[in-house]
């Protein structure tokens, strides 16, 4: 007999992946089945385990391809099959999310369930627009109302009661009925000059906030072509947006970026870009996979050379599996190709003895030879990928330096779907293999050259130019320099568009 699984009703928050709760993330990463709506951002969907079953029930404004009753049944069926199921819903499950309806059938069927609340867009979207929904100088209450019309097309609101509340009014799912709401409030006595705001795509990089008055609300919605998801805020607190709007001032606000680093390496880069306001889509076009190798007799060598952070990780993980650790490196000098590899080495408690001034294989080899770092008669172990640049090996060997190569990982290309290069301002590439992976991931028919490439170094840039991509190269081969280059190019692009 199959043991019954469990359903976790998880609020995904308003869109910004950083607003997904810690528990929500944990449940998602343990899920065997994930049932989700259209309002859940791609960034959050990327957290779903590769082996998990994904079920897109496709609910969004005005269209429900999968009826609610069928969604309820899917949750029950998957749980009764013994699976751990996450029902992922935008915002909070119980705030106009029909979460209660989904639990009814589970309760009747004896299926265990748990609710993980999410940050509601009703509070988060105004906050990202600089609107505090309560303020002691303006109001002491906030009221959240659905602006979604019933099946018969009517919007049943008691406008007199809403006006008497004298608090901030937040109308969810209200774009289509915005004009009717404004008219209803004004007809029942609310001042035509009452401040209000429309917040579209709340908490996402493409968020737009428009502050106006009730009498001009309909015009703003039409002129700016506001689309769902959006909400309307009514009340004097909306005037504070001019002072408190922090999100729109972020330097990369509105930038749409494609990051192609392997999933295990993307964290710092993606996180910092999002902190600057960018919309970042992760396209892990390549993945690094450790390969088995015998631990060499390190006492034969005087220098170890690491040409990537992935090589550092694979090497030390293999040492650990054999019951060894960094003490095995005693007496060895270590050279690395750049600062990012140096940082990775430091996580294992070791400092690099040599870092080139320009972070590439050619400079690494040249400066090791010319600086006297490689003593006469020394033996070098070059730790690298299965397919790697021959630059270091060839130059050292040509100068009579005995150099052995140790393959510790391989690069695999990952197929991706649903990516349109033309939708992004820039793609960010940290290796030539990530450029090749990007082209392979999109397939032969894709217009890969439609994406402008920001590259960490000249070798990466050369690979992008071969594809016909516009190319910008970071001044230094570091994540910080890469981010600065993105910011500079995005700033210039905005000026050009505005001019």
What is the model's pLDDT at position 39? 84
Mean pLDDT of the region 428-433: 88
Q: Is 223 a catalytic residue?
A: no
Across the chain, what does the average pLDDT equal? 90
Q: How far is CA 37 from the centre of its chain?
A: 18
| pLDDT at residue 189 greater than cutoff 90 | yes
CATH number of 256-285+414-498: 3.40.50.10090
Coil vs helix vs strand at 303: strand
> Choosing from 16, 37, 43, 92, which is the catalytic residue?
37
What is the model's pLDDT at position 459? 87
Question: What is the chain's percent helix, strand, coil content, to nearest 5?
Answer: 40, 20, 40
> Which overall architecture, per CATH, does domain 6-119 show?
3-Layer(aba) Sandwich (3.40)
What is the model's pLDDT at position 415? 64
Rg (CA), the chain: 28
| pLDDT at residue 427 greater than cutoff 80 | yes
The Cα–Cα gap between 83 and 73 comes to 14
Q: What is the pLDDT of residues 336-350, one digit of tens each?
A: 998 889 999 999 999
Mean pLDDT of the region 364-371: 90
> Choosing from 16, 43, 59, 92, which is the catalytic residue?
59
| pLDDT at residue 372 greater than cutoff 90 | no
- What sign does the dihedral 184-129-87-45 (CA atoms) show? positive
CB contact at 8 A, 48 and 154: no
pLDDT bucket at 376, cuts 50 / 70 / 90 = confident
Task: Name residues whose C-beta falls within 8 Å of residue 490's C-beta, 6 or more positions apart in sequence.
Answer: 251, 252, 255, 425, 426
pTM of the model: 0.77
What is the model's pLDDT at position 282? 83
pLDDT bucket at 267, cuts 50 / 70 / 90 = low
Which of 428 and 3 is assigned the larger pLDDT? 428
CB contact at 8 A, 278 and 257: yes
Give the largest CA-CA distance in the chain.
92
Assign domain 288-413 to a CATH class: alpha beta
| pLDDT at residue 268 greater than cutoff 60 | yes
Q: Comparing 181-185, 385-389, 444-448, which segment has the lowest mean pLDDT?
A: 444-448
- What sign does the dihedral 422-423-428-431 (CA atoms) show? negative
The CATH superfamily of 123-248 is Tetrapyrrole methylase, C-terminal domain (3.30.950.10)
Q: Is 160 a catalytic residue?
A: no
Mean pLDDT of the region 80-96: 95
Mean pLDDT of the region 313-328: 91
CATH fold match for the domains 256-285+414-498 and 288-413:
yes
Task: Name residues whose C-beta falls within 8 Å of residue 181's C-beta, 6 or more positions apart in sequence.
Answer: 147, 155, 157, 171, 174, 217, 232
Domain residue ranges in the chain? 6-119, 123-248, 256-285+414-498, 288-413
Q: Which residue has the tokens 């069928």?
A: 70
Q: What is the pLDDT of residues 454-477, one digit of tens each?
A: 999 888 999 999 999 999 999 988
What is the model's pLDDT at position 12? 96
What is the model's pLDDT at position 311? 92
What is the model's pLDDT at position 33? 97
The Cα–Cα gap between 233 and 403 comes to 68
């Amino acid at each position: 007999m199959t043991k019954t699984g469990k359903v976790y009703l998880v609020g995904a928050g308003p869109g910004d992946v950083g607003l997904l709760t810690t528990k929500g993330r944990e449940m998602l990463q343990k899920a065997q089945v994930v049932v989700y709506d259209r309002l859940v951002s791609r960034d959050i969907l990327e957290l779903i385990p590769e082996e998990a079953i994904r079920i897109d029930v496709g609910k969004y404004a005005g269209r429900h391809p999968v009826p609610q009753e069928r969604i309820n049944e899917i949750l029950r069926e998957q749980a009764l099959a013994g699976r751990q199921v996450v029902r992922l819903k935008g915002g909070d499950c119980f705030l106009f999310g029909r979460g209660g309806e989904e639990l009814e059938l589970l309760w009747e069927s004896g299926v265990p369930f748990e609710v993980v609340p999410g940050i509601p867009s009703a509070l988060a979207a105004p906050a990202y627009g600089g609107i505090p929904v309560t303020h002691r100088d303006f109001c002491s209450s906030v009221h959240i109302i659905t602006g979604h019309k019933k099946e018969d097309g009517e919007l049943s609101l008691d406008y007199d009661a809403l006006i008497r509340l004298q608090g901030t009014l937040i109308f969810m799912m209200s774009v289509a009925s915005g004009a009717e709401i404004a008219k209803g409030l004004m007809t029942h006595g609310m001042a035509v000059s009452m401040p209000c705001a429309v917040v579209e795509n709340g908490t996402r990089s493409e968020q737009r906030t428009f502050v106006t008055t009730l009498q001009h609300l309909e015009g703003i919605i039409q002129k700016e072509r506001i689309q769902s998801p959006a909400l309307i805020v009514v009340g004097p607190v909306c005037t504070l947006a001019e002072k408190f709007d922090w999100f729109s001032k972020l330097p990369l606000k509105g930038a749409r970026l494609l990051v192609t680093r392997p999933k295990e390496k993307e964290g710092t880069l993606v996180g910092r870009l999002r902190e600057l306001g960018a919309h970042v889509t992760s396209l892990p076009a390549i993945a690094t996979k450790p390969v088995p190798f015998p631990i060499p007799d390190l006492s034969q060598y005087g220098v170890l050379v690491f040409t990537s952070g992935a090589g550092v990780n694979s090497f030390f993980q293999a040492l650990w599996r054999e019951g060894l650790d960094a003490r095995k490196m005693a007496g060895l000098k270590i050279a690395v190709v750049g600062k990012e590899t140096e940082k990775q080495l430091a996580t294992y408690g070791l400092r690099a003895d040599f870092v080139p001034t320009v972070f590439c294989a050619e400079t690494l080899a040249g400066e090791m030879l010319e600086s006297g770092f490689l003593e006469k008669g020394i033996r070098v172990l070059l730790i690298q990928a299965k397919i790697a640049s021959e630059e270091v090996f060839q130059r050292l060997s040509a100068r009579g330096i005995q150099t052995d190569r140790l393959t510790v990982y391989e690069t695999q290309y990952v197929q991706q779907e649903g990516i349109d290069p033309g939708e992004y301002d820039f793609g960010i590439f940290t290796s030539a293999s990530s450029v090749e992976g990007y082209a392979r991931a999109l397939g032969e028919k894709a217009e890969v050259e439609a994406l402008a490439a920001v590259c960490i170094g000249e070798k990466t840039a050369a690979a992008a130019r071969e594809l016909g991509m516009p190319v910008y190269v970071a001044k230094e081969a570091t994540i910080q320099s890469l981010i600065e280059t993105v910011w500079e190019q995005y700033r210039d692009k905005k000026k050009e568009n505005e001019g």
